[in-house]
Structure 1
């Protein structure tokens, strides 16, 4: 992960005043107590890189024993996320029995509880199981299922997630988290697919075949995200990144990628047994989106009263 260079304000008063002036002038941005980075670099960085700068700043000033956790651990492990990350760094504190909110960090109490940890890039962090369960209990269902799918894909056993949930001394959110662990699937390959799968589950649709390969003889025609064989419907999530990101286009222009995707979809539609195709984008699978209408038009048995993507 890209790291932003940080400057720890020294004890020298003259230098400290000069740095404060640069912050006031907009040249630098404060990411922790007495820690700044270039405002230009910070603005140009990704959401994850900005949050990593906050983590580095907080860790540099905190006492030993605190554990980077929750959404901050998601960043440390390089797990997928969408949308903004918290302004404060999330820390689990094994010595506290009450939460504490500070300017640059939120401390989550964990006194008397064994916390699974890993050292990631030199930083004490909750391990993958702990992180996924923390997010499942704390965050909305959309973000939680994205993280759960990702840790399963990395090899974490579903049973390990269930066991960690069962031993947590909390009641709030536990039933919901257990249901999300049941929905999560290691075959999901992107956050958009995770949210699409959650929509399918929330609508009570038949269980799809994930990452299904269509072949004609020995030739692979297409590998699709979701295949509903009984209804003859293919559903794909299109994150649009392959059109916008040069690195993902493999030297092709955006127009060439669009044409290739159109030809691929035409080939899928022409396959025997395929009666409908739904291509969803971010706005469709987010709460209030048009995913139910699009899935119904493709031929899936969506409840007639549901026209918008359910809330998380």
Structure 2
């Protein structure tokens, strides 16, 4: 999960695995899951500093390299290919950096603490693993991301699934985001005009706002996507790119086109989409943030955009 990075002082050490730190809510949920399971689940990693993320990424990826795994990532505008080891998130986007992911042991060693009452996950079908995941699901933990990247050991905390948290990080309504329609080269219409205005605002496009998605607009999209570490650089504007195009909207901040995109993402329509972040838009942002399970501060910032992308 690419999330706002935490400092270890903003997290909490796991009581079940001393020495490892998670975000406070994730740590509490993990310890609840382990307690309900009745056995300790040994882990090899939890929160990672940004420096550690950089170290791991550079160990496994090389700029301009051909990846035998077909795994390519963009970091600071440069394409990297994975040349060895397991996949690693682009530094600054790691779920480990957000303190909401753990890596679970997949092999036992003689020095494992509480060996008799501790488990490791030896396979996807491991019976202990299946039983633990059933228990952990009610506490917000799942292997969705681990399965997607084929990492048996990787578990992620999803606050919105944590039954102990009720309706997320704050009381009140939760709302799914609106998915703005996908556009690509050859598309025409108001969405293309909105895109061109927004790209001009960030200096990624200098052409006319003609509502025609041509090669120059596609180049501008790719320029924008390279600067957003989560995005695939393909020149296509789907929901995930729209989510980042709306990033930075908050009450009192100018920027009509960014604000309009943010308003559409949070579900406003018609005359309510006016490019001004007022009380109604702030509340809609908070509702979407509650659905995402992140702090509902009413600011459509980096953490909100990244959480939207993670949700798909």
Larger radius of gyration between Structure 1 and Structure 2: 1
TM bucket (normalised to shorter chain) is under 0.3
What TM-score does the superposition give when structure 1 sets the normalisation length? 0.28
What TM-score does the superposition give when structure 2 sets the normalisation length? 0.28
Q: Is the strand fraction higher in 1 or 2?
A: 1
The higher relative CO (CA closer than 8 Å, separation ≥ 6) is in 2
